[in-house]
Amino acid sequence: MASYIVRRLLLMIPTLLGILLLNFIIVQAAPGGPIDQMMARFEGLNSNASTGLESGGGDGNSGGNTGGSSQRFSGANEELRQALTEEYGFDRPAWERFGLMLKDYATFDLGDSLFRGQPVIDLVLDRLPVSISLGLWTTLLVYLISIPLGIRKALRHGSAFDVWSSGAVVIGYAIPGFLFAILLIVVFAGGSYWNWFPLRGLTSSNFNELSLLGKIQDYFWHITLPVLASAIGSFATLTMLTKNSFLDEIHKQYVLTARAKGASERRVLYGHVFRNAMLIIIAGMPAALIGILFTGSLLIEVIFSLNGLGLLGFEAVMQRDYPLIFGTLYLYTLIGLVLKLVSDLTYVWVDPRIDFGTRES
């Protein structure tokens, strides 16, 4: 097993390099780079300033100076563009910039944001608590509900409970998370009915003044509605996966043999079926966690005014903030690869018959 873990860790290096290289090429090919974004802002400020001067009045010669002023602004803009290009290193070849980026990433130096003036790692760490809160609690809620529900549906397959519960989870799957978030706000956050939960933020303004118990209550008070909105569309897939996995195992020969030997139904279900049926569910856990943690919370963060990684990544893409884009991508990919390895090790923990260490390199 130790050799397998070492091989997987070594395999992460080319995988990580390949993902970074592919995204680097795609982002570099996209129009409107960071220098263009900076120049657009500068030209917008110049335009507003010149409009203000013109509206302030002038003499009869003002019209004749327009062409000269325009030429001067154009020349200044080109000089500024050239200076910015050299300052941020965009005058270097793409391969050289990619190599320097990898060299910095090897020491977890993610650089500074072009538009925020802060280290990328500080921005990520500042937003991380929000995304971790949404991702972990959403994943925990989904698994705590979907797995027992899927098992019960498998044991009562074809019953009225199976039919109406399937309808309920499918309806939940069909409702977009952001629409359900708006519904929760309207009903429970002072919209049209009750004002039971706060509308924005992860904590109250007086959070630091509260006791430990008060802080815990305040935290869960704020996180309840965003977690419910994030989880609503995730129940159906995991519930039906659990049900079908258990149904497939229940009808296998070893289950019939265990029952014939006089094993109790509980022993058959949780001593034999559960271990085998849970393998496919565990396989999907890293992808589910990564999806909820990093990619599925943008609209939820916007609706509930939460500054998380989803909103940070979206803003970085819109601004073409290259250090922020590639820095967050690097961290996301690295975390995803590590979680995938953890998933494989969990296979062995659930079913000791599986031994990845015997695989060929």
Is 195 strand, coil or helix?
A: strand
Q: In sequence order, which residues have a C-beta less than 8 Å from that of residue 134 and are 6 or more positions away?
A: 223, 226, 227, 230, 292, 293, 297, 300, 301, 306, 308
Question: Any idea which residue has 């080109």 for tokens?
Answer: 78
C-alpha 102: how far from chain center:
23
Query: What band does 65 get if pLDDT is binned at 50, 70 and 90?
Result: low
Is 1 strand, coil or helix?
A: coil
Q: Determine how many CB atoms are found less than 10 A away from the CB of residue 205.
A: 7
Based on its alpha-carbon atoms, the radius of gyration of the chain, rounded to whole angstroms, reads: 28
Supply 26's token pair: 């795609």
Q: Which of 126-135, 253-262, 341-350 has the lowest mean pLDDT?
A: 341-350
Q: What pLDDT, in 10s, does the model give residues 268-318?
A: 777 777 777 777 777 666 666 666 665 556 778 888 878 887 788 888 888
Q: In sequence order, which residues have a C-beta less than 8 Å from that of residue 128 and are 6 or more positions away?
A: 309
pLDDT greater than 60 at residue 68: no
Average pLDDT over residues 129-140: 82
Residue 73's pLDDT is what?
Answer: 47
Average pLDDT over residues 131-144: 84
Q: Which of 225-229, 231-235, 276-280 has the lowest mean pLDDT?
A: 276-280
Average pLDDT over residues 169-188: 84
Residue 125 one-letter amino acid: L
Q: 292: which DSSP letter?
A: I
Indicate the average pLDDT of the chain: 77
355 or 59, which is more confident: 355
Average pLDDT over residues 39-66: 54
Supply 20's token pair: 């970074």
pLDDT greater than 60 at residue 57: no
Angle, to 10 degrees, between the axis of helix 309-319 and the axis of helix 120-155? 130
CA distance 193 to 210: 28
Q: How far is CA 356 from CA 8, 112, 287, in A?
A: 11, 40, 20
Structural domains in the chain plus CATH codes: 120-358 (1.10.3720.10)
CA distance 146 to 279: 15
pLDDT greater than 80 at residue 58: no
Strand partners, 195: 189
Supply 161's token pair: 């409970």
Q: Which of 45-59, 153-167, 203-217, 346-360 is the most confident on average?
A: 153-167
Supply 197's token pair: 């939960």
